[in-house]
Amino acid sequence: MSKVKAAIFASGTGSNFLAITEQATADQLGCEIVLLVCDQPDAPVIQLAKRYRIPVLVFRPKSYSGKEVYEEEIRAKLQELDIEWIFLAGYMRIVGDTLIDAYPNRIVNLHPSLLPAFPGKDAIGRAYQANVPTTGVTVHYVDAGVDTGPIIDQISVAIEVEDTEEILKQRIQQVEHHFYSSVIQQLIDASDDGSNL
């Protein structure tokens, strides 16, 4: 049986891209990663995709007259490859209506805080500076806002007294690498049963 096809959208380092791809390649995820979409031509994540022979659609947003135009190009590629799911993993752009309307409840994002707390950039640093006892990781559906879509699942990470901001970041990323894949697996299993989480 052929597996459900998914794309990962990422802009940077790609540690979550790597974690998901490793599990998918080892047959431990119910989907196959068949495309990386990246808006930063020099991003390290592109090299990771090449290592796994995953095709990359890389684009420079500034070369287009607007979001609609480049998202139309992305949508055409996703549809050509029969992609059913989009997983954002450090994709530093707001997704527009062109993609949201084409993939209702099929675009998912990972965010390093317990949303609705600390949406947007530098969520880990802001949680650390705010001295909250607990932060965490959220997986949510993507809507037109910044980290505002319906929450699918969350996991807490306590901030320890001995944590530096860097150590906290490392601990949260380690959690992300397992948590995101397990939520993806549940989403795909649920959609096989015809339901949403």
Q: In the complex, which residues of this chain contact ligand GRF (CB under 6 A)?
A: 10, 12-17, 89-90, 110-112, 173, 176
Q: Between 74 and 108, whose beta carbon lies closer to ligand GRF?
A: 108
Closest-approach residue to ligand GRF (CB): 90
> Is 177 assigned a catalytic role?
no
Q: What is the closest distance, in whole angstroms, from the C-beta atom of residue 192 to ligand GRF in the complex?
A: 26
Q: Which long-range contacts (CB under 8 A, 24 or more apart) does 103-106 make?
A: 103/78, 105/141, 105/196
111, 140, 177, 178: which is the annotated catalytic residue? 111
Inter-helix orientation angle 165-192/15-25, to 10°: 40
Which is nearer to ligand GRF, 72 or 143 (by Cβ)? 143
Minimal distance in Å, beta carbon 169 to ligand GRF?
8
In angstroms, what is the minimal distance from the CB of 64 to ligand GRF?
Answer: 23
Nearer to ligand GRF, 135 or 191 (CB): 135
Task: Give, in degrees to the nearest 5, the angle at Cα 196 between 191 and 197.
Answer: 115
Residues annotated as catalytic (active site), given as ranges: 111
